[in-house]
Amino acid sequence: MPGGQDRRVATIHEQVTSALRDAVRNGEFEPGQPLRQAELAERFGVSAVPVREALRALEQDGIVASLPRRGWIVTKLTVRDIEEVYELREILEQKGLRDAIPRLTAEHLAELKRLADQIAATSQPDRHLELRERFYQVLYGASGSQRLTSLIMGLHGQLAPYLRRRRVENSSETHRRLMEALTARDVQAASEIISTHLAEIRAACVQAVEPSPADGQRPGTPR
């Protein structure tokens, strides 16, 4: 039936979008790297249509970009781009906290505590990043606003390739303190913790884009 076929295509598109997002986040595709539709279709075992739709979806999230005469590439952020993403995250995540904290259930808190414990326990950067993303998906998802959560997580995705290279300083301690604030329903304390954490993320991403001379690298050289 035509309707059933449409639903099947949508499902494949979502799977390819998720798989490609994960591949960028995990560093399988580096910032600035070309993304060839034929190769992606072969990689995921699908036709060109869901690949094209996945690229368009990720373009909306700022994860990939389409350039004239060059085709699709993984978005490569400048320091100014990172500053802009940081400023937007500060605004949106503060709203997300204000909306989510009064709505946190015992189930939300239990899941957040489980994820915070796993963040503290892992020493693998990719796993650390994956757990942090799941933590914030649960936290801001409690706000009840799918659009707000989607905007926030889209901004997270733009910075993920740069955070993968560097573990954010004090991240485990930050999530422990944040859990205390969330459990106490202390919006002000949680807000201050998030602001400090976002400043650390900004610094880590800027350092990934423009390594200092002490790192012995030229700007833009992957770590």
Degrees to nearest 5, angle at CA 102 with 172 and 178: 10
Domain coordinates of the chain in residue numbers? 2-74, 79-209
Mean pLDDT (the chain) is 86
CATH superfamily of 79-209: GntR ligand-binding domain-like (1.20.120.530)
pLDDT of residue 25: 82
Rounded to two decimals, the pTM is: 0.79
Mark 37-48 as b/e (b = at least 16 C-beta within 10 Å). Answer: eeebbeebebee
pLDDT of residue 218: 41
Q: Which positions ≥6 away from 137 have C-beta within 8 Å?
A: 149, 153
Which range (4-8, 183-187, 189-193, 217-221) has the least confidence?
217-221
On the question of pLDDT at 77 being above 60, the answer is yes
pLDDT of residue 9: 46
Degrees to nearest 5, angle at CA 116 with 15 and 92: 65
Do 2-74 and 79-209 fold alike per CATH? no
pLDDT digits (tens, 9 = 90+) for 160-205: 888 875 555 567 889 999 999 999 999 999 999 999 999 988 988 8
Burial (0-12, 13-18, 19+ Cβ within 10 Å), 119: buried
In the CATH hierarchy, which top-level class contains the domain 2-74?
mainly alpha
Residue 212: Cβ within 10 Å count:
10
d(CA 83, CA 112): 28
Please report, rounded to a whole number, the percentage of residues in the chain having pLDDT higher than 70.
Answer: 87
